[in-house]
Chains A and B, each alone.
Chain A
Amino acid sequence: MEKTKADASGPTPEFVRLLTASQSAMYAFIVSLLGGVNDAHDVLQEANMKLCRKCSEYDPNQPFLRWAYAFARFEVMACRKRNQRSRLVLDDALLATFADELEGSSEDADQRLKVLETCMERMTPRQRELITARYGQGEAVQDIACRLSRSENAMAALFYRLRKILADCVQSVIGNEVRA
């Protein structure tokens, strides 16, 4: 294989910084296109590898995240092809719709994580407890429901609302920051 000159020089520290800062956003992008976290880590790894190989092609004047999303989207498609026998959440048209929409977002790569932390602090202790149980300790929704003597459906609906509250809060805070 013939290597390009840029390949030989490798990614710059600035490129590594941008890639590092983009990890959570890329992970979320991949999860949205896959419809869940299964395979998301592997797809992220593949995308990271490709980004590193193609680092010389990155134009620093363009938003890094939008460029990275294109690689992630390609790797999601490759993953779907490998897993075509298993159930896919989105069809090709829906995937394209969501990918286009997310690629067009202009948010700071890791701004949402910072804001999410702020929004978590605004939640009640009880809500934070539930989030920690589900996402921090990996407890299944069904087990949390059983532990709290609630039905699984009721608990699933509660988590839906909690995620919505957080999504609304994140959008609101970011919107305010942009307006300010």
Chain B
Amino acid sequence: MSKESFEHLCHVVLEGTADEVQLEQFRAHLRADVAQRKAYVDQTQMHALLTWQQGRAAIPELALLSPTNVAPQPKIRTFRSRRTSPLLQAALAAAVLLMVGFAFWQFGDHGRKPDSVTVAKGVSVDILASEGSPYQVGERVVLEKLRMDRGSLRFRISSGAVVDLEGPVILEFVNPMRLRLLLGNITIDVGSEAKGFVLDTASALLMDIGTRFGASVGNDGSTDVLVLEGEVEVYRAGELPTQKSRLASLYEGEAARMANREAKIQRLQALALQGDRLAIRGLNAPDSEVITGVTDNIKKANFYRCYTITPGGMWEGALASLVHRGHRKLSWRAMPDQLFPAELEGADVIGTFQRQSIHQPLPDINLELSRPCAVYVLFDSRAEPPEWLRQGFRDTGLRLRSGPWWPDLFETKKLMPDANGELYVVHSVWRKDVPGSATVTLGAPTIVSEKYRYAMYGIAVKPL
């Protein structure tokens, strides 16, 4: 059997997916070859240590520590071993002491409960990333309430949900499946483990059906929610989540605002995202230095599609569109064998939504711009440019691709796969310079009356 086969067998063994035949083959390797026995030890030991170091190996649940015991340590450590964390050492020591107490209780005098065993109050979280927060990567802490004026934090709750947040934020931990956001921004990824996760705010109850959403609570108590992947159900605040109290089901790429608990749910037309990951910026962070608003003229009941603004986010792989298609986002890519156009790099990107979710009439999009800038329209090069584009913009000659797309769409029916078998739409890059604060209106992406079967255009804006 080849070396690759041993690697593959190692993979399925470590992932716990090996079947009996594979296990027997694997054991045969180990019996026959000293080198492969050493390789197995290396692989399992590193697998275990990385799991341990990165916080995914469970520490005894009784390791309870309050963050208030720890002095703020703004230093950012992407990889921090448990060994070098004094807090973790203390947590482990506490756990061992508690375990010792339990062992004595269990195996010794059953009539006397040890003093060292306490009941947990709060929710256990593992710190995954920290910048300017009082916590360190790799720590496990138990939180009841988190108030953070600045900095950012990513942690995993014991239910499996992963939370990203930025200061200023005030968050209460009700239980591992429920948080209460009092102020600030939060992005929650519940994955498959924490379906049904609930986020309460003053004006809404948000239930994550899976898998990722962002929410923001402003000083006025209003709540914005954007679904980044999967589905979220929005219920009236302060009521049990029932059919009667349900306000809307939001899907990927949809956003809404609840001004207060009595108000009607409203479509939120635009929301800003972080540049480096799929997380919202929310009410308390400036969306962009140049884009102050994105609106359209779609008037339709139960329509919640949202434009996303990613400040400075135009690079290879930038988000082009949130779509109802699961984990594979449409992104902007350089043409094959070409570099990403330098002219576009670092521009603010506006994620648009695709035709299948719009229906007639096709929208005009209004961009509110606060300073001199270049507005770029990334237009499907297969379509005939409409008059508003030809008259108001000039073709820069630059080309970009959006994708990868899916084969079962009108937009991709006649596309040929690239060398990797993926479908990409080529976009021509059109530019218009705006001399100062202004509203720029972009028209429908195709000529009126033509049956539209091309990709929606993308938008980028760069300050001059």
Residues of A within 8 A of B (CB): 1, 3, 7-8, 10-11, 16-17, 19-21, 23-24, 27-28, 30-32, 35-38, 40-41, 45, 48-49, 52-53, 87-91, 93-94, 97-98, 101-102, 110, 112-114, 116-117, 120-121, 128, 131-132, 134-138, 140-141, 143, 146-147, 149, 153, 156-157, 159-160, 163-164, 166-168, 170
Stretch at the interface among B14-22, B200-208, B262-270, B345-353: B14-22
Q: Is B93 part of the binding interface, using a Cβ–Cβ cutoff of 8 Å?
A: yes
- With A20-B93, A156-B11 as known contacts, state yes or no: A114 contacts B83, CB within 8 Å: yes
User: Closest CB of chain B to A107's CB: distance in Å?
Assistant: 10
Q: For A110, what are the chain B residues with a Cβ–Cβ distance below 8 Å?
A: 81, 83
A114, chain B: closest CB distance, angstroms: 6
| Partner pick for B7 among A36, A114, A132, A157, CB 8 A cutoff | A157
Residues of A within 8 Å of B362, CB to CB, are none
Bound Cα distance A137, B52 (Å) = 12
Which A residues lie within 8 Å of B327 (CB)?
143, 146-147
The residue that A135 contacts in the complex, of B54, B84, B328, with Cβ under 8 A, is: B54
Known: A20-B96, A35-B44, A113-B81. A40 touches B57 (CB 8 A): yes
Residues of A near B191 (CB, < 8 A) are 138
What's the least CB distance linking A50 to chain B, in Å? 8
| B49 contacts A116, C-beta separation under 8 Å | yes
Residues from chain A with a CB closer than 8 A to the CB of B43 are 160, 163-164, 167
Which residue of B31, B44, B79, B103 is within 8 Å of A28 (Cβ)?
B44
Residues 56 to 99 of chain B near chain A (Cβ within 8 Å): 56-58, 60, 78-84, 89, 92-93, 96-97, 99
Write out the residue numbers on chain B whose beta carbons fall within 8 Å of the beta carbon of A20: 89, 92-93, 96
Q: Quick check: B79 and A121 within 8 Å, CB to CB?
A: yes
Indicate if the CB atoms of B82 and A146 lie closer than 8 Å: no
- Give the segment of B34-42, B308-316, B379-387 that binds chain A: B34-42
| Contact, CB under 8 Å: A132 / B54 | yes
CA distance A168 to B8 in the complex (A): 20
Chain B minimum-CB-distance residue to A7:
B108
7 tightest A-B CB contacts, nearest first: A31-B48, A156-B11, A167-B42, A28-B48, A135-B54, A163-B46, A136-B54
List CB contacts (< 8 Å) of B104-153 with chain A. Answer: 104, 106-109, 128
A contact residues around B78 at 8 Å (CB): 128, 132
CB-defined contacts of A128 to chain B, threshold 8 Å: 78-79
In the bound complex, CA of A156 to CA of B327 (Å): 20
B13 interfacial by beta-carbon distance below 8 Å? yes
Residues of A within 8 A of B81 (CB): 110, 113-114, 116-117
A-B contact pairs, 18 of them (CB 8 A): A3-B109, A17-B93, A23-B82, A24-B48, A30-B48, A31-B48, A35-B14, A35-B44, A38-B16, A40-B57, A49-B99, A52-B104, A101-B41, A112-B49, A138-B56, A157-B7, A157-B11, A164-B39
The answer to whether B83 touches A21, judged by C-beta atoms less than 8 angstroms apart, is: yes
Q: Which residues of B contact A114 (CB under 8 A)?
A: 81, 83-84
When distances are taken between beta carbons in the complex, the residues of chain B under 8 Å from A3 are 108-109
Shortest A51–chain B CB gap in Å is: 9
The smallest beta-carbon distance between A65 and chain B, in angstroms, is 14
In the complex, whether B245 has a CB less than 8 A from a CB of chain A is no
Tell me the complex Cα distance, A33–B327, Å: 35
**Closest CB in chain B relative to A98 CB, distance in Å:** 7
